[in-house]
Amino acid sequence: MSNTATTLSTATDAAASTAEAIAGAAETAGHATESAGMPQLDFATFPNQIFWLLVALVIIYTVLSKIALPRIGGILADRHGRITRDIEAAEKLKTQAVEAEKAYNHALIDARNEAAKIVAAAKADIQADLDKATAHADAEIAARAAESSKRIEEVRAGAVASVSDVAKDVAEAIVAALGGAADAKTVAAAVAARMKG
């Protein structure tokens, strides 16, 4: 093996320095053939490697299975539990909030209904009062009107009476002035007849 490498480099030795350098680089690739091939197949190193591998594996397994894995599993379970709990709590709070809103809406509707009822009652009351007052006023107005018309009638009657009186007096006076002797009874009849006509 090393023979080839050396022959190769001796051959290239004669050539230009470039070729020489490449051969040197190539030699690095094919160089230490003096070392017995692949170190992986050097069986003398196997016991040492296997021994230390087993030691390392036993340490890792013990540390992981006794300390690390239960701890990490615990942390993850813890977190999972906490998240679930938090979500549950949030869910509960949400339902509570929804219930509270429902109750609030309910109360609002109740209050509204109550208010409407009160308004209606008040309206009815007012209407009744108003009606009563109107009726009262109407009655009063009617009474006053009746009284007024009565008085007007009286006045009118009084006026007619005084007109006939005045007419009688005037007629008597006119008759007297004309020189006639007026009989009160005749004058009254004539005036009444005239008044009628």
Partner 1 sequence: MAGEAGNEALAFHPMDQFKVEPLFDVALDYFAVSNVTQWMGVTVLCIIVLFVLGTGKRAVVPGRLQSVAELAYSFVYKMVEDVSGHDGVKYFPYVFTLFIFIVFSNFIGLIPGAFTTTSHIAVTAVLAMMVFLFVTILGFIKNGFHFLGLFWVSSAPLPLRPILALIELISYFVRPVSHSIRLAGNMMAGHAVIKVFAGFAPLVLMSWIGVAVTPLSILAITAMYGLEILVCFIQAYVFTILTCVYLKDALHPGH
Partner 2 sequence: MTGDIVQMGAYIGAGLACMGMGGSAIGVGNVAGNFLAGALRNPSAAAGQTATLFIGIAFAEALGIFSFLVALLLMFAV
Residue 67 interacts, among partner 1, partner 2, none and using kind-specific CB cut-offs from 5 to 8 Å, with partner 1
- Pick one of 4, 95, 149, 186: the residue that binds partner 2 (CB under 8 A): 4
Is 97 a binding residue for partner 1 by CB under 8 A? The answer is no
Main-chain dihedrals φ then ψ at residue 37, nearest 5 degrees: 60, -140
Q: Are 167 and 191 in contact, with CB atoms under 8 Å apart?
A: yes
Is 9 a binding residue for partner 2 by CB under 8 A? The answer is no
Stretch that binds partner 1, among 44-52, 110-118, 144-152, 166-174 (CB under 8 A): 44-52
Distance CA(177)–CA(171), nearest Å, equals: 10
- Pick one of 20, 26, 31, 33: the residue that binds partner 2 (CB under 8 A): 33
Residue 3 interacts, among partner 1, partner 2, none and using kind-specific CB cut-offs from 5 to 8 Å, with partner 2
Is 87 a binding residue for partner 1 by CB under 8 A? The answer is no
Environment class of 9 (CB within 10 Å of its CB; exposed 0-12, middle 13-18, buried 19+): middle
- Pick one of 56, 100, 118, 139: the residue that binds partner 1 (CB under 8 A): 56
Q: How many CB atoms lie within 10 A of CB 167?
A: 17
Residue closer to partner 1, measured from CB, 80 or 194 = 80
Q: Are 175 and 156 in contact, with CB atoms under 8 Å apart?
A: no
The minimum distance between CB 29 and partner 1, in angstroms, equals 5
Residue 172 interacts, among partner 2, partner 1, none and using kind-specific CB cut-offs from 5 to 8 Å, with none
Query: For the window 18-37, what string marks contact with partner 1 as x by the rule CB under 8 A?
Result: x-xxx-xx-xxx-xxx-x-x
The minimum distance between CB 95 and partner 2, in angstroms, equals 34
Binding site residues, partner 1, CB under 8 A: 9, 13, 17-18, 20-22, 24-25, 27-29, 31-33, 35, 37-42, 44-57, 59-61, 63-65, 67-69, 71-76, 78-79, 82
